[in-house]
Amino acid sequence: MWIYTPWQYEEYPDKRLETIYVFDAQGREYFDIVHSTVQFLGGQEFAFIVVGIESPFIEEKNQSRNTDFLPKATDKETIEKYGDFSGGADKFLSFVKTEVVPFIDKRYRTLSERVAVGYSNGGTFISYSFLKEPDLFDAYIAISPNYAYDKGQLVERFSDLVPKNLKGEKFVFISNSNESIETAERWAGWSESNEKVIEIIKNPKFKSRIHLETKDFSETEDHGTTFPIGVFYGLKTFIDYQFRTGENTTAYYDRLAKQNLVKLTPEFVNTLAYECFWNQKITDAITVINWAIEKFPDAHNLYDSRGEFYEKAGELEKAKNSFQNAIDQLVKYKEKMDKEEYAKKMEYYEGNFQRVSD
């Protein structure tokens, strides 16, 4: 098992982090790509502990990645194809749930949010875990998953999925590459099975239970080249969904604060709003900053931030009012602040107010 902690984990000893679990980590490059990519996508604020779980090949023990990742087959042809090197998904899932996750949560400062990343048959496994143990992970990034296995066993399992068995909303990312039978016989049924699962999840009955994102790389990538780009888009869409969407961001951090897992401060919630703003999600930034102001109504800088967001949105009257709010709140702190700091802040806020008033 490989474990990566980002610099934020060491820099802020009280900070807890979400965890990404990467399967197929016997190939070190899969683990390395994930922890390297997320550093570029998370910015300064959003960092993750990354755990790589190996599934090594041990011939004398009939052990391989397929043994760990694939559920027991029922089709005769599939059984003959894989022999003893398949069918251990339930055992492996139990190992992850009862040994790996508790070990990580005990040893490291984790939050309850867990992301699973799986490629090819690893994508099959995390999808299987979604169906069998939906509370184990909160987000699933399945890159070119093998849903054709055992004559579409996973397709049938998804068909039987009941919305009420899912607590809260799960994030699911599914991608594909050029996996067509015209390319090679081994890809028979891959594209069709992938499409069937996506259509099942798109059913309106899952609207409030599954947030689905898909990416089609069939025109540019084959099965061997799709992992790096799949990881990039999978993690990017998850981070945008979880941390740069107004409704999700506020609900998530309200829950963490209620559980005493994170301490909300004016500076921190302001950063959350700017994460949306810097990523061109202005409406979401306004949602987050209004939530922040409700929590910290005396924080003058939050009103200034809201003014900036409204100005960017072209709502100049609202921007003007927000900048005035910042000035009014700052005045209340005049006696408590350093004179030079107060003067600089006031000059800055008044400049913003004047800019949208002209």
Domains, the chain, ordered by start? 2-243 (3.40.50.1820), 265-357 (1.25.40.10)
* Non-local CB neighbours of 257 within 8 Å, separated by 6+ positions: 263, 264
List, in sequence order, the alpha helices (H) in the chain. 7-11, 28-42, 65-69, 76-82, 89-95, 101-107, 121-132, 149-159, 190-201, 226-243, 246-258, 266-278, 282-295, 300-312, 316-331, 339-357
Do the beta carbons of residue 198 and residue 212 sit within 8 Å? yes
pLDDT value at residue 83: 82
Indicate the residue type of 156.
E
Distance, in Å, from the CA atom of 19 to the CA atom of 117, rounded to the nearest integer, reads: 11
**pLDDT category of residue 81 using cuts at 50, 70 and 90:** confident
Question: For 148-154, what is the mean pLDDT?
Answer: 94
249-265 tens-digit pLDDT: 999 999 999 999 999 99
> What does the pLDDT look like over 331-345, one tens digit per residue?
998 888 899 999 999
pLDDT for 57 beyond 80: no
The pLDDT value recorded for residue 241 is: 95
Q: Would the pLDDT of 34 be above 80? A: yes
- pTM attached to this predicted model: 0.92
Give yes or no for residue 145 having a pLDDT over 80.
Answer: yes
| Locus of tokens 């931030």 | 305
pLDDT category of residue 194 using cuts at 50, 70 and 90: very high
245: confidence class by pLDDT, cuts 50, 70, 90: very high
Q: What is the pLDDT of residues 265-319, one digit of tens each?
A: 999 999 999 999 999 999 999 999 999 999 999 999 999 999 999 999 999 999 9
> Would you say 65 and 24 are in contact if contact means Cβ atoms under 8 Å apart?
yes
Edge to edge, what strands does the sheet with 110-119 contain? 2-4, 48-53, 17-23, 110-119, 139-143, 170-176, 210-216
What size, in residues, is the chain? Answer: 358
3-state DSSP call for residue 97? helix
Amino acid sitting at position 39: Q
**CA nearest neighbour of 100 among 129, 140, 61, 79:** 129
Strands 170-176 and 2-4: unpaired
Give the pLDDT of residue 44.
Answer: 67
Phi, psi dihedral angles at 254 (to 5 degrees): -65, -45
Name the 3-class secondary structure at 46. coil
Provide the token pair at 60: 């004398």
pLDDT of residue 56: 81
- Percent of the chain at pLDDT above 90? 82
Report the mean per-residue pLDDT for the chain: 93
Write down the pLDDT at residue 328: 96
DSSP state of 24: -
Q: In this predicted structure, what is the pLDDT of residue 8?
A: 92
Give the mean model confidence (pLDDT) for residues 61-79.
Answer: 86
Band the pLDDT of 62: cuts 50, 70, 90: low
Pairing assessment for the beta strands 48-53 and 2-4 based on DSSP bridges: antiparallel
